Amino acid sequence: MRPWPGTTYPLGATYDGVGTNFSLFSEAAEYVELCLFDDDGKETRAKLEEVDGFVHHGYVLGVGPGQRYGFRVHGPYDPERGLRCNPNKLLIDPYAKAVSHGVDWDECLFGYKFDAPDERNDADSAGHVPYSQVVSPFFDWGNDRAPKTPYNESVIYEAHVKGMTVNHPFVPERLRGTYAGLAHPVVIEHLTKLGVTAIELLPVHQFVTDHGLAEKGLRNYWGYNTIGYFAPHDAYAAMTSQGGQVQEFKGMVRAFHEANIEVILDVVYNHTAEGNHLGPTLSMRGIDNEAYYRLVEDEPKYYMDYTGTGNSLNVRHPHTLQLIMDSLRYWVTEMHVDGFRFDLASALAREFYDVDRLSTFFDMVQQDPIVSQVKLIAEPWDVGPGGYQVGNFPPLWTEWNGQFRDTVRDFWRGEPSTLGEFASRITGSSDLYQDDGRRPFASINFVTAHDGFTLNDLVSYNEKHNEANGEDGRDGADDNRSWNCGAEGPTDDEEVLALRARQRRNLLATTVLSQGVPMLLHGDEFGRTQQGNNNAYCQDTELSWMDWELASANAELVEFVAALTAFRKRHPVFRRRRFFQGKPIRKGDELRDIAWFTPAGEEMTEQNWDDGFGKSVVAFLNGEGIPDLDPRGMRVEDDSFLLAFNAHYEDIEMTLPGNGYGSAWSIVIDTSTGLIDPEKDEPLDAGAEITLPARSLVVLQRVGGAPE
């Protein structure tokens, strides 16, 4: 086999219907061998003779979809100087569109101590490490159309491809835990009922389980251990032959789009599965270690680690930046995804040492005509110094609002002096996002996510219970801001169970009705539990999988969530595009867009906000002429509402505001009962006293329009 010259771009393996062009960047390499494997694992090698701008390339006639391949990079090996070329290692193509399997740790001799002198003589790894695969770029998208749901109308649902369906009784067994299973009509029907507009998938880029977990008999479940930025994870595919995971993933996206649901990917461009200096050589480490990874300045040149995983990608290098941007564009243009959630996004902003919000990566995203047009969500922190950057990302970005999560948890568990902070969070966190021109929807509001307690466990456990992880409980966060409502874990106490149910509704209602974009964690809508495990990253077991029997057992909670999102959709005052100003909406109006009251019906004062009690507050939301223009240039009109929060353990007597805000009110949501839009009793007159139940949120809708 002697390759034709081929072309430098696109990088990776590109099939054109006749043959395949192979292209690999490596400035460190003396030369590169392309390795092709037949069905029996027999290897054929060919040197890529053509090199332009450190890109080694060649075209092989007759090679097509399904062909397994890899690279062997010949060059200097001196780990203390950061050089790790080793032709004994079969390397995954960083641009591989499909990868065949994981790592066989029992058979593959990697020699974890990479500075050992015999590391270059390790046994050949072919057959025991993943193969790259050539894929067909052709797919019938039909009339596929991106939903392009505006942020302020979005409801995001964070889910795990396998965990969502592996136990689903109505998904065919052969499809459970796969892309095809996730796109099954019964799953889409459930999401549609919940009012979900976007499903945010935990990592689906090809990943591997690290050796330490494998030794314990555990697996990397969440997938934050990427080794292929272009390849859909093969274990999530029912179609396993000839790169079928690519076709299956595309079919899943098409099915979601037909249901008007966007697909957002959780992506991990901050580190890879190759880990620290003791980790395995799988791909980029052996191709060009200095280009792809941040290395310390002094020898030995081991890895900078802003992620807690052993390495950090070198976003200062142009070819690493190109890899990330090419990957993002590929998933948008070829796979039709609608956005990305960037894991530990602060690590991507580290040009030098400190987090720089104007780093090259963000500049490139801003000017890219494709990537800049999809949803971009930052997890705005990493584990390095100064890494907590909530509120500091560029205007194009939205953020997981960790301050919303912490404040809402504190408020509902009864922590003192959180009232002012709570008011800021439920109105869109203007203190974080307004100064740089962003809108309320820059805040992705959540109280639970994959990392931490489920909603059920948040109200059932004071302490983490991570014994199954094999780390003696040392892993996982200790500051959970949870409250078990009087008993740790499962209980038969009816009062405790009733209180937990109410707290679940309080947290869900606060998330859905706050300004910003609500995000729900899969299974929270019917009380999924991880038995107190708040770090289930390695639990590819029943502990983490969704138990769909709970959907029937807790059907009333499912109905409550569905009714909440439907209520939000009907009333634009809960999904404003602009921040409240505390001023009249239109010239000549007397009513402000928002007003705050004590339970006694008096407007809040500075002293009230600083009150150490801080357990109860009432917000008036003015729906008359919301300054959010509809497509015709008209102001949006809605009803006006009172949101009455009581986090105290006792009932509170509440006085409705006077006639200036409305002459009559009707209760439309009550978390103490779980009712939404109940049968209307006689309207309550302005100034009337009502009982605000302990630990509850009551929403009242104005009856009869604006006051004269």
609 vs 111, residue with greater confidence: 609
Q: Which candidate, 483, 458, 463, places its Cα nearest to that of 473?
A: 463
The whole-angstrom separation of Cα 275 and Cα 36 is 27
The whole-angstrom separation of Cα 312 and Cα 305 is 5
Measured CA distances, 6 to 55, 119, 136, 670 (Å):
11, 33, 18, 67
| Structure confidence at residue 630 (pLDDT) | 67
Exposure of 366 by Cβ count < 10 A (0-12 exposed, 13-18 middle, 19+ buried)? middle
Concatenated DSSP letters for 197-222? -EEEES--EEE---HHHHHTT----S
Measured CA distances, 14 to 325, 548, 549 (Å):
18, 41, 45
| Structure confidence at residue 1 (pLDDT) | 80
Exposure of 106 by Cβ count < 10 A (0-12 exposed, 13-18 middle, 19+ buried)? exposed
Q: Which candidate, 230, 308, 306, 219, places its Cα nearest to that of 267?
A: 230
Strand order in the sheet with 19-25: 12-15, 19-25, 55-61, 50-52
252 Cβ contact partners less than 8 Å away, ≥ 6 residues apart: 179, 180, 182, 183, 263
CB half-sphere exposure, 438, CA atoms < 13 A: 24
3 state DSSP class of 642: strand
| Structure confidence at residue 416 (pLDDT) | 82
The whole-angstrom separation of Cα 339 and Cα 378 is 11
The whole-angstrom separation of Cα 247 and Cα 266 is 20
pLDDT in tens, 276-313: 999 999 999 999 999 999 999 999 999 999 888 899 99
| Structure confidence at residue 548 (pLDDT) | 97
The helix (run of H) or strand (run of E) holding residue 644 is strand 641-646
Q: Residue 117 above 60 pLDDT?
A: no
Q: Which candidate, 27, 76, 78, places its Cα nearest to that of 301?
A: 78
125 vs 94, residue with greater confidence: 94
The whole-angstrom separation of Cα 114 and Cα 116 is 5
pLDDT in tens, 485-507: 999 999 999 999 999 999 999 99
Q: Residue 590 above 70 pLDDT?
A: yes
At residue 197, φ and ψ (nearest 5 deg) are -110, -15
Catalytic one of 338, 379, 524, 540: 379
The whole-angstrom separation of Cα 433 and Cα 390 is 9
At residue 674, φ and ψ (nearest 5 deg) are 85, 10
pTM for this structure?
0.96
- 458: tokens are 């948040």
| Structure confidence at residue 631 (pLDDT) | 66
Q: Give 105's pLDDT tier (boundaries 50, 70, 90).
A: confident
At residue 580, φ and ψ (nearest 5 deg) are -65, 145
Q: Give 72's pLDDT tier (boundaries 50, 70, 90).
A: very high
Q: Residue 111 above 60 pLDDT?
A: no
Please state, rounded to an integer, the average pLDDT across all residues of the chain: 92
Q: What is the mean pLDDT of residues 244-254?
A: 97
| Structure confidence at residue 119 (pLDDT) | 47
3 state DSSP class of 85: coil
The whole-angstrom separation of Cα 615 and Cα 594 is 20
C-beta of residue 686 within 8 angstroms of C-beta of residue 665: yes
Catalytic annotation on 379?
A: yes
- 112: tokens are 């974890």
Among 209-223, 384-398, 444-458, the range scoring the smallest mean pLDDT is 384-398
Q: Residue 354 above 70 pLDDT?
A: no
Measured CA distances, 253 to 160, 191, 296, 337 (Å):
15, 14, 41, 7
Catalytic one of 119, 262, 274, 343: 343
- 521: tokens are 């964690």
| Structure confidence at residue 113 (pLDDT) | 36
| Radius of gyration, CA atoms only, the chain | 27
| Structure confidence at residue 98 (pLDDT) | 97
Residues in the chain: 708
369 residue type, one letter: P
The whole-angstrom separation of Cα 674 and Cα 684 is 20
136 vs 354, residue with greater confidence: 136
350 DSSP assignment = -
Q: Residue 632 above 90 pLDDT?
A: no
Q: Residue 384 above 90 pLDDT?
A: no
627 DSSP assignment = E
| Structure confidence at residue 122 (pLDDT) | 42
Percent of the chain residues topping a pLDDT of 90: 80
Percent of the chain residues topping a pLDDT of 70: 94
| Structure confidence at residue 383 (pLDDT) | 77
Q: Residue 530 above 70 pLDDT?
A: yes
Q: What is the mean pLDDT of residues 336-353?
A: 84
Measured CA distances, 165 to 71, 111, 316, 676 (Å):
36, 37, 40, 29
- 96: tokens are 């591989």
| Structure confidence at residue 627 (pLDDT) | 78
Residue 123 backbone zone (phi > 0: left; psi -120 to 50: alpha; other: beta):
beta
Please, which contacts does 467-470 make with residues 24 or more away whose CB atoms are closer than 8 Å?
Answer: 468/533, 468/539, 468/541, 468/543, 469/218, 469/533, 469/535, 469/536, 469/538, 469/539, 470/216, 470/218, 470/538
| Structure confidence at residue 682 (pLDDT) | 86
Give me the residue label for tokens 């209602």.
509
| Structure confidence at residue 356 (pLDDT) | 65
605 Cβ contact partners less than 8 Å away, ≥ 6 residues apart: none
- The β-bridge partners of 700 are 642, 667
pLDDT in tens, 361-373: 889 999 999 999 9
The whole-angstrom separation of Cα 242 and Cα 253 is 20
Q: Give 474's pLDDT tier (boundaries 50, 70, 90).
A: very high
